[in-house]
A and B are shown apart, each in its own frame.
Chain A
Amino acid sequence: GAVVSQHPSWVICKSGTSVKIECRSLDFQATTMFWYRQFPKQSLMLMATSNEGSKATYEQGVEKDKFLINHASLTLSTLTVTSAHPEDSSFYICSARDSWGQGDREQFFGPGTRLTVL
């Protein structure tokens, strides 16, 4: 099946610094990728939809200037958490759908990135 990778798997940073998380589709092309955030024992909440070659679409309540998304190619989307604070500590997961696949709209999730802000 299709594989989505994320890098890094985990990151610990100091408050005020910026952190970049990469999401790659390894064996398929994805014009659209999604970024989710999951707090402990809670559900996955959609943060934004990343569109290749255009601006991301953010969900209500998600600060676009804080969570910068760049989808520079059909296989890579990046999420940069700027000026991170402890409340940004969470599990960030991306997903992608095969743009040209004949499948049933299945979405493939990356393994997630655990961010801890001290």
Chain B
Amino acid sequence: QQPVQSPQAVILREGEDAVINCSSSKALYSVHWYRQKHGEAPVFLMILLKGGEQKGHDKISASFNEKKQQSSLYLTASQLSYSGTYFCGTETPNSNSGYALNFGKGTSLLVTP
């Protein structure tokens, strides 16, 4: 089941903050966040497994709500290099695909000077 991402697109000035949301109608096993640049493969950012978990590195962090149905990715003091499309990939319990990820439609982020 494909998770729902919002917003579809966002334009920021360098230094501004952004939040990208990913939600599911069912409880998830995990949420994976990726960033993809045009014509390239997705690059792993982080994974969240536990309800209520928050984690991050540098100025990118993410949270996973207690019910494990919603995750948010936080980009603070954005840099030009943050531009790209952000995808959340989700795992559902007892998936027949065994750890395969269902990806949201993506959020296009553009950071301008």
Q: Which residue of B lies closest to A2 (CB)?
A: B44
> What's the nearest-Cβ distance from chain A to residue B64, in Å?
12
Q: Which residue of A lies closest to B97 (CB)?
A: A49
> What's the nearest-Cβ distance from chain B to residue A90, in Å?
13
> Is A44 part of the binding interface, using a Cβ–Cβ cutoff of 8 Å?
yes
Q: Indicate the member of A44, A49, A95, A104 with the most B CB atoms within 10 Å.
A: A44
A residues at B contact (CB < 8 Å): 32, 34, 36, 42-46, 49, 57, 59, 91, 93, 95, 97, 104-112, 114
Q: Indicate the member of B30, B34, B47, B100 with the most A CB atoms within 10 Å.
A: B100
Interface of A is mostly: strand
> What's the nearest-Cβ distance from chain A to residue B11, in Å?
16
Q: Is the CB of A106 within 8 A of B47?
A: yes
Q: Which of B39, B42, B91, B102 contacts A109 (CB 8 A)?
A: B42
- Name 13 A/B residue pairs within 8 A (Cβ), A-sorted: A32-B99, A34-B97, A43-B106, A44-B103, A97-B99, A105-B30, A105-B49, A105-B99, A108-B44, A109-B42, A111-B40, A112-B40, A114-B39
Interface of B is mostly: loop
Q: Is the CB of A43 within 8 A of B41?
A: no
Q: Which residue of B lies closest to A1 (CB)?
A: B44
Residue numbers in A under 8 Å from B41 (CB-CB): 93, 109-112
Q: Is the CB of A42 within 8 A of B42?
A: no
B residues at A contact (CB < 8 Å): 2, 30, 32, 34, 39-44, 47, 49, 87, 89, 91, 96-106
Complex CA gap A32/B39 in Å reads 25
Q: Is the CB of A106 within 8 A of B32?
A: yes
Q: Is the CB of A44 within 8 A of B42?
A: yes
Residue numbers in A under 8 Å from B42 (CB-CB): 44, 93, 109
Q: Which of A46, A108, A111 contacts B102 (CB 8 A)?
A: A46
Q: Is the CB of A105 within 8 A of B106?
A: no
